């Protein structure tokens, strides 16, 4: 399949083949868009968006967790996690418990209503998961290993930035 731009752009842009090697990150972007669209369509009647389902799933599978632990696990800014948690709390889907070793922190888990909402959305998610996983041309563990390597490579610059930030603050205050 070949895609083209408007005729007035053809001299500067040219043709882009659907299988072209623009970059690995471009491929990831396109794949994420396709998966997002398929999940959004499949979950439209579930009462939950795919991104919300992912947050609920983390608490369902790994909870109780603090908001910071959730942020780390999902690679999301803490403020974004807090937005999800606010919506989940407003829906009456969260139970807060004191952190066992940090008196300032709260751990969160799904309450009965949250588990029910997650279960209702889960059936919609599973249809897509099974369809996509069934069509994969290679074992899932190989794909997960590649995704993990990509995630680690993407997280490395952020880790370096966090380590160097205190040194920059010290230089500015001196």
Tens of pLDDT, residue by residue over 95-132, are 999 999 998 999 999 999 999 999 999 999 999 999 99
Q: Tell me what pLDDT residue 31 has.
A: 93
Q: Tell me what pLDDT residue 166 has.
A: 65
Considering only the C-alpha atoms of the chain, give the largest distance between any 2 of them, rounded to a whole number of Å. 64
Q: Tell me what pLDDT residue 20 has.
A: 63
Query: Long-range contacts of range 72-81, CB-CB < 8 Å, 24 or more positions apart?
Result: 75/151, 75/154, 75/155, 81/55
Tens of pLDDT, residue by residue over 25-79, are 999 999 999 999 999 999 999 999 999 999 999 999 999 999 999 999 999 999 9
Q: Tell me what pLDDT residue 72 has.
A: 94
Domains and their CATH numbers in the chain: 48-131 (1.10.10.10)
pLDDT band at 158 (very low <50, low <70, confident <90, very high): confident
Structure tokens at 26: 């471009």
Q: What is the DSSP string of the chain?
A: -EE---GGGHHHH--EETT--S-HHHHHHHHHHHHHHHHHHHHTTTTS-HHHHHHHHHHHHH-SB-HHHHHHHHT--HHHHHHHHHHHHHTT-EEEEE-SS-TT-EEEEE-HHHHHHHHHHHHHHHHHHHHHHHT-SS-HHHHHHHHHHHHHHHHHHHHHHHHHHHHHHHHHH-
């Amino acid at each position: 399949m070949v895609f083209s731009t408007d005729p007035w752009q053809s001299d500067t842009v040219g043709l882009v083949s659907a299988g072209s090697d623009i970059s690995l990150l471009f491929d990831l972007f396109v794949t994420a868009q396709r998966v997002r669209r398929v999940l959004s369509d499949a979950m439209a009647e579930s009462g939950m968006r795919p991104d919300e389902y992912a947050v609920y799933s983390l608490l369902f599978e790994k909870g109780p967790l603090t908001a910071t632990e959730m942020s780390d696990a999902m690679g999301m800014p803490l403020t974004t996690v807090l937005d999800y948690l606010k919506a989940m709390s407003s829906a009456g889907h969260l139970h807060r418990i004191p952190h066992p070793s940090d008196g300032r922190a709260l751990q969160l888990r799904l309450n009965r209503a949250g588990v029910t909402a997650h279960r209702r959305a889960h059936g919609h998610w599973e249809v897509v998961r099974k369809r996509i996983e069934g069509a994969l041309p290679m074992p899932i563990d190989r794909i997960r290993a590649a995704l993990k390597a990509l995630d680690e490579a993407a997280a490395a610059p952020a880790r370096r930035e966090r380590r160097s930030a205190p040194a920059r603050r010290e230089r500015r205050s001196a």
